[in-house]
Structure 1
Amino acid sequence: MSALSVTTAAPGAVVDPLTGPAALLSMSVGSVPLSDALAWTAIGAFVVAAVLQWSGAVDPARYLAAGAWVVFGVFWLTLAPHYYLEVKSPIETLLAVAALPLCVYTGYLLVRGRGSLLLLSKAVAFMGLIYLPVETIPVVKTWLIETTASQTHFGMELLGHSPGLEEGANGYQSRFAFDPEETVTGRTTYIITACTGIGSMAIFGGLIAAVKAPLRRKVPALALAVGVIWFLNLVRNVFIGLASPWGWFQQDFFVTIATEFMGAPADRTSYIVAHNFIAQSLSIVALLGITYLVLRILPEVLEPLEDVLYILTGTEYDLADALGQELRADGGERRSDGDPDR
């Protein structure tokens, strides 16, 4: 997922017209970009499938959810050129390409009768309902991007840097106005939607909303996930936002990798290393840690996660046993005296 990324913008840079595979990004259905149309279609189908399941029509729900997974996979595939040609992110490119076969396989399992995947489908529906409005409603998007930029700037000030904020290429007051004559690379960064952490928040929000559990445990689990993601996201933005202009990773070894193997300008090396290699790798570790903390509060989330592991490996897992938790009927943990937790 491109959650938490920062886009580099060189002063006066001109973006070449999209050609080849990248042209997928410019395709549209009417006035709606293709990727947005696919995303809304998939999420809408997931929501309808959840309603059908709730009303007792399980088989129609399975078939509709199966189709939604296929559309969802195609949506991610349309983003692969962007991650490869523009973001220069090997991790995000591989995930976007791998999403299609994994989503198709998920749909296949649903058609074959694996009804437990309806819970994972419902979780994706909630994820989309959290993320897509933020991405598509201008006032919400503006507030989130500019607030994140302001908070990131405050973090830079704590470290002795105060570049100020100006309008970025995306039209928001989100660009860190470093003087190109005073920095090492002459480049800077600006905040986009993916830099706000909303993608990661949507993942946990969707999982937590989908499972059956008391609110007294759902609310703390959600607050923990959102709070930790928000803090780590700001740390990540500050790190990338300073590494790029000040050339923290402009060593010859990294420059060779960025220019020879990734086709990037030499002065973009520090951004690529900080964002695509260091920050994205640490984000995976952080998400695993947050998942563990959420599971200690809300072990019901184990069920959709077990299905994710089954899709990836073809093997059934008992994560509750692996974590050493004894689960009661509704998924809650039992105390050592045998009484349900409160």
Structure 2
Amino acid sequence: MKLEIIAEAFAIGSLILLALGNLISSNKFTFSNFSIPQKAGFELNIVGWLFMGGFWFLQIEHYMMIRDPVNAFLCLLGLPFFSYLAYHEYLNIAWKTPYPALAWLGAMTVVAGGIYFFVERVPLLAGWFINIVAHHSAFLLEVFNHGVTLQPIDYGTGSTWYRPGSSYQEVTVGVSADWKDPMAPSVNIILACTALQSMIIFVGGVLCTKADFKRRIYAFLATVPVIYFLNLVRNVSIIYLTYSHVWGDETFYYAHSLIGKGGSLFALIFLAVALFHYMPEMQNNILDLIDLTKRKKPDNIK
């Protein structure tokens, strides 16, 4: 419970600090004869990135418990990655030179992270979205003559208005089927099965990139609806393979953690290329972030 509270504080704190930090570092705020220095924004960003790294580090245990080595490994990389971003916020101060791509990443993190955090922590909202995805997945299965029955939304224990993240309190929609192999485990649709994370990353990127409205709309339509549909295909495939008990007791693990995640990664890379076609500014920001390792001190700084 203590680690859960610490993780919650890290998550909320990081989003607030990064939001304030980006706001202060990119704007001039003057009150009477007092002005908030740009340096203060970068200092808030430093702490915000460190908090973000701490939050993901504390998620490793959860992903190991649910046998999700891919996300567990990514969480392990989170602490050094976000610490590196914090270091470059410090260089913004030391070199008195902002790095625009870093500000873009901070803004995108606040938008995408804020949306997901809000939905995940409000069970009523999470349940509503999970139920929609579950019904659309069931419809696709029905199209292929493998109908399923969806159970009522299970909110677990605790408040349905706000609840800290926990592997024991996930909102679920159960899936049952007459054609299910008796030896196959039951499948539940949870928030991670909705592709909300992937969609809001693209939404955050579109909203935080400087581009005209028309190109933003095209970029949105070329990615977010496609992600949603491909995720339905992923859900249908996992349910079909698991309930058919294709590879025995390990079927769900292979279908979900290996095939499902591998396919999702490939699709996201393809969609990112499509997104860059409409918004090359986003590609420039990402390339600039990759080039952080090549960042050099300005000539006028000793």
TM range (shorter): 0.7 to 0.9
Q: Distance in 2 between matches of 1:159 and 1:27?
A: 47
Q: How many residues align?
A: 267
In structure 2, what is the equivalent of residue 331 of structure 1? none
Q: Distance in 2 between matches of 1:54 and 1:100?
A: 25
- The answer to whether 1:96 aligns with 2:75 is yes
Counterpart Cα distance in 1 of 2:186 and 2:144: 17
Equivalent residue in structure 1 for 2:19, among 19, 42, 47: 47
Q: How far apart, in 1, do the equivalents of 2:190 and 2:172 lie?
A: 10
Q: Deviation per CA, 1:142-172, whole angstroms, max 9, x where unpaired?
A: 2101101111111111121112011466546
Paired residue secondary structure (2:58) = helix
Give the alignment's Cα RMSD to 1 decimal. Answer: 2.0
- SS across alignment from 1:40: helix
Gaps of 5+ in 1: 1-25, 251-266, 317-342
Alignment of 1:104-253 (within 5 A): 104-113=83-92, 115-116=99-100, 117-167=102-152, 170-171=155-156, 174-179=173-178, 182-250=180-248
Question: Could you tell me how far apart the structure 1 residues matched to 2:284 and 2:110 are?
Answer: 16
Please give the per-residue CA displacement for 1:43-99, whole angstroms capped at 9, x wherever unaligned.
Answer: 11111112112323432222211211110011111111111122x122111100011
Q: How many Å apart are 1:115 and its aligned residue?
A: 2.4
SS in 2 for 1:175: strand
Higher relative contact order (CA 8 A, sep 6+): 1
CA gap 1:307/1:229 in 2 versus in 1, 3 angstroms: same
Shift of 1:37: 2.7
Query: Aligned equivalents of 1:167 and 1:130: distance in 2?
Result: 25
2:61 is the counterpart of 1:81: yes
Aligned partners of 1:146 and 1:174 also within 8 Å: yes
Instruction: Give the TM-score normalised by the residue count of structure 2.
Output: 0.82
* 1:129 Cα deviation from its structure 2 partner: 2.4
SS at match of 1:190: strand
- Counterpart-to-counterpart distance in 2, 1:296 and 1:161: 38
CA distance in 2, matches of 1:150, 1:36: 31
- Secondary structure of the residue aligned to 1:112 is helix
Q: Is the 8 A contact 1:62 1:115 kept in 2?
A: no
The alignment-based identity, stated in percent, is 25
Counterpart CA distance in 2 for 1:184 and 1:120 is: 48
Quote the offset at 1:297 in angstroms. 0.6
Question: 2:298 is matched with which residue?
Answer: none
Q: Which amino acid aligns with 1:176?
A: V
Alpha-carbon distance in 1 for matches of 2:122, 2:285: 29
Q: CA deviation at 1:208?
A: 1.3
Structure 2: 5+ residue stretches without partners: 29-36, 93-97, 157-170, 296-302
Retained in 2: the 8 A contact 1:43–1:128? yes
Residues 13 and 51 of structure 2 are in contact (CA less than 8 Å); yes or no, is this contact kept in structure 1? yes
| Distance of 1:281 and 1:296 partners within structure 2 | 24
